[in-house]
Structure 1
């Protein structure tokens, strides 16, 4: 490292750690930098983040990473063991297992991403509205939430997808419908504390309408907790998606999906164990990465840290 680069890094660090920020951008940069330091102090969270970034990279570059088409069936090469031609072997239809796992990352991220986009705003809106308005509105919304919480998420998702029909999009809807209640309960608990704060009383006295207070002042304060909860929930979402695929209610053949691959591989478990081990290991890795990163994100966004 040259003297100039060292001095430049030192000045940047001084700018990021200045006690009196001179602009909004500097204040935002300081908050982000301090949050990153808290995340970097947790090695397991960094590992989880690296795994998730690697998964996203694999999904994005699947056509270049996969060694074969995930749909090509070569019956003369069915149930081959791992080799130089097929790194993780082939399945019962002669399809390359490695390529299907690579493309299966796209399916998993598609499900997890859409569910997060759906359940986050729904749970936040319902919880913040119930917590701020109180009264019969809170009682009605929370009783509906309690009804959804009274069923295990996988059983509820099975019921919804059975009613809607087996498909990838219906599985996403079913998982989303079974995942929002926990976020709503969390947002309500946060709102019960926020609604009695001084700044909310101030904007109320200034004449702000109830929707403006909820959307402009209450929800932003609930957002960090909701983001952490959504991130931690993504592990269970990935497992639920794999469970629906295992039962044939998620992604339909020939779409590569880890749960469906695990379902077909169970018939050959004794002779060809790798067919089930590889998609199972992928599911385990992704779920663990979301949990590790969620724990680190909770520490990073905790205002008491």
Structure 2
């Protein structure tokens, strides 16, 4: 093909094997630098370790749990922590340690489902508002402001009460409170790059709004949204625990940390472990996501790359 022959399949046809290799090396270099920055951040590394442990426990809970989390044995009710039951037993004689392990599965499932739902919704709403502007921007942002006007937990309680208790409804209720900050962030990132040279060049080459959205805005917004989602996971866990504590989340006998803390509050003086253990689990996991989010914010900062 001569130098004047147009590319048969778009601009990517001009890329040589060396170009592709260089691109891969650049990406690997960025990943390696990011890993080095993570190693230099002990709090973020500790948060990552706790989250990795959470995932491992959630996936392998049936192998790690010494007892069935739902089997009741009234002759073992309210046993203090010991060799047979590391975290004691609850009012129904169920092993608290086993229920904590299975509760990690419930917590991780809720967090992942909410994140998968709110990430594309928040990005599409914010990027569409910033890219199109005009009345579309005004309408979408006013709807976003309405959701932001209410405290997240209060709004989640309202939606959960309207939809009814259960895991699926809790995921929907929490998702409806988490997407607005993502939309605001995506809009701000879009407004920053909307008038940039490469976006204007893409428009002059005939690229549609959809192509600009996917091929230009997604790579720009992804780092900021990733950090925001990681930080939001802590609030997702706390909101899910709050719904479970009030009886609007996952229903018994399914193990859930918030519901476990609620069931033990009437035994707080005599069986402190019923509320302390799930409360500490919520604390450590929420703190781990916050620490990891802060670390990712430093790693993805362009000034560090």
Relative to the length of structure 2, the TM-score reads 0.92
For 2:198 and 2:61, the matched residues in 1 are separated by 49
Structure 1 residue 211 and structure 2 residue 210: aligned?
yes
CA-CA distance at 1:30 after TM superposition? 0.7
CA-CA distance at 1:218 after TM superposition? 1.4
Which residue matches 1:197?
Answer: 196
Which residue matches 1:303?
Answer: 302
For 1:264 and 1:147, the matched residues in 2 are separated by 34
Which residue matches 2:4?
Answer: none
Which residue matches 2:161?
Answer: 162
Which residue matches 1:54?
Answer: 53
CA-CA distance at 1:236 after TM superposition? 0.4
DSSP 3-state at the match of 1:304: helix
For 1:30 and 1:291, the matched residues in 2 are separated by 26
For 1:140 and 1:304, the matched residues in 2 are separated by 35
For 1:23 and 1:225, the matched residues in 2 are separated by 25
Any residues of structure 2 matched to 1:108-187 within 5 Å, and which? Answer: 108-187=107-186
Relative to the length of structure 1, the TM-score reads 0.92
For 1:23 and 1:229, the matched residues in 2 are separated by 30
CA-CA distance at 1:23 after TM superposition? 2.9
CA-CA distance at 1:37 after TM superposition? 1.1
For 1:75 and 1:22, the matched residues in 2 are separated by 65
Unaligned runs of 5+ residues in structure 2 are 1-18
CA-CA distance at 1:25 after TM superposition? 2.2
Which residue matches 1:223?
Answer: 222
For 1:36 and 1:69, the matched residues in 2 are separated by 39
Moved more, 259-268 or 26-35: 26-35
Any residues of structure 2 matched to 1:263-282 within 5 Å, and which? Answer: 263-282=262-281
DSSP 3-state at the match of 2:303: coil
Which residue matches 2:232?
Answer: 233
- CA-to-partner distance for each residue in 1:224-281, whole Å, 9 max, x for gaps? 1001000000000000000000000000000000000000000000111111100000
Moved more, 210-219 or 236-245: 210-219
- CA-to-partner distance for each residue in 1:38-74, whole Å, 9 max, x for gaps? 1211110000000000111111111111110000100
Contact 1:21 1:27 in 2 (8 A): no
CA-CA distance at 1:300 after TM superposition? 1.1
- CA-to-partner distance for each residue in 1:77-106, whole Å, 9 max, x for gaps? 101111111111100000000000010000
CA-CA distance at 1:22 after TM superposition? 4.9
For 2:268 and 2:125, the matched residues in 1 are separated by 45
For 1:22 and 1:147, the matched residues in 2 are separated by 48
Structure 1 residue runs of 4 or more that deviate by more than 6 Å after TM superposition: none
Contact 1:79 1:94 in 2 (8 A): yes
For 2:209 and 2:53, the matched residues in 1 are separated by 43
